[in-house]
Structure 1
C-alpha cells in the first residue's frame, strides 16, 4: 500500500536502467504498484471475481490498493466476517504479486481463473490453520457459505 514494491516504475526511479517500464501483462500502462495490484485489467479481473464470490459490489472508481483495502474495510459486517474478507484480500494481493513475478521472471502467464482458485485455496488454508475460525468444509467455502463460522 506504500508503493514500495519493486515495480518497473519504482525500479526506474531508483536508478535501475530498464528499456521498458510498461506492464508485462497488459502493456497498456506503466507498471507502478497501483497498476500491479488494482488498475491492470488482469488484476481488476481477479478482484472482480473475488468480490463477486464474497458478494461484495465491485468499486469501479478505485485506483489504488490503499483505496481498495479501505473500501473493503468499510463494508458492513461483524468482526469474523471482516477477518475473513481481510484474509482473502491478503491472499489476493499475494497471488497477484506471485503471478506478476512469474510473468516477469519466467515469462509464464497465469490465467485469471487459475489465480482465483489459488486465492480461494490459500485463504481457506490460512484461515483453517492460522486462525481460531473453524473452516472445515471446503465445498461450502468454494461457494463462500461461511454462515457456520459467523
Structure 2
C-alpha cells in the first residue's frame, strides 16, 4: 500500500488524476462534471480532496485529532508546502503528518471510486476509521524503526513528540 499511496499523492499534487474536470480537458465526453460524492460542484482535485463536504469533514477530524489548526490553502500543493515550511512542527511530527495526509488522499480517492464503480454506495461514516487505521499502517511500514503504539496513535499520533 505504501507505494500506491505515494504514487496517488504524487499524481494528486500534480493534478494528474482522472477526475471529471481533467477528463473533459482531455476531450473525453462524460455525462456530468459534478463531483460524484456530493453532486454539488465540478469534480476538480481541490474540490474532491479538500472542499467537498465528505473531504472537509475528514480534514476537520484530522486536524482536531492531531490538535493542529488547519491552514488556509488554495490547492493540495499548499497543504504539503505548509507542512514542509512550518517551523513550529518538528521533523518527527512532519513525517507522521505526511503519512496521515497521504492516507486521507488515498481514502477519499478510494471512496470516490467506490461511489462511481462500486456495487453498493459506501458508508462515509467509515472513512475516519480508515484514515486512522491505514495511516498507522502506512507510517509503521515507512518508519520501521519508529515504535508507535496503536492506542497512542488512536488518541493523537503526535502526542509522543513535542511539536
**TM-score for both structures, normalised by structure 2:** 0.82
Quote the Cα distance in structure 1 between the aligned partners of 2:100 and 2:108: 12
Which residue of 2 is the match for residue 109 of structure 1?
122
Which residue of 1 is the match for residue 147 of structure 2?
134
Residues 3, 146 of structure 1: alpha-carbon distance in 2 compared, 3 angstrom cutoff: closer
CA displacement 1:2-34 (0-9 Å, x = unmatched)? 111000011111121111110111111100111
Give ranges in structure 1 of 5+ residues lacking alignment.
Answer: none
Which residue of 2 is the match for residue 68 of structure 1?
79
Structure 1 residue runs of 4 or more that deviate by more than 4 Å after TM superposition: none
Q: Does 1:47 align with 2:23?
A: no
Quote the Cα distance in structure 2 between the aligned partners of 1:96 and 1:46: 9
In the alignment of these two chains, the number of paired residues is: 147
**Equivalent residue for 1:57, pick from 61, 69, 72:** 69
**TM-score for both structures, normalised by structure 1:** 0.88
8 Å Cα contact 1:53-1:144 kept in structure 2: yes
Residues 145, 14 of structure 1: alpha-carbon distance in 2 compared, 3 angstrom cutoff: closer
**Equivalent residue for 2:132, pick from 120, 127, 134:** 120
Which residue of 2 is the match for residue 28 of structure 1?
40
Residues 33, 123 of structure 1: alpha-carbon distance in 2 compared, 3 angstrom cutoff: same
TM-fit CA distance, 1:145: 5.1
- CA-atom RMSD in angstroms: 1.7
Quote the Cα distance in structure 2 between the aligned partners of 1:83 and 1:34: 23
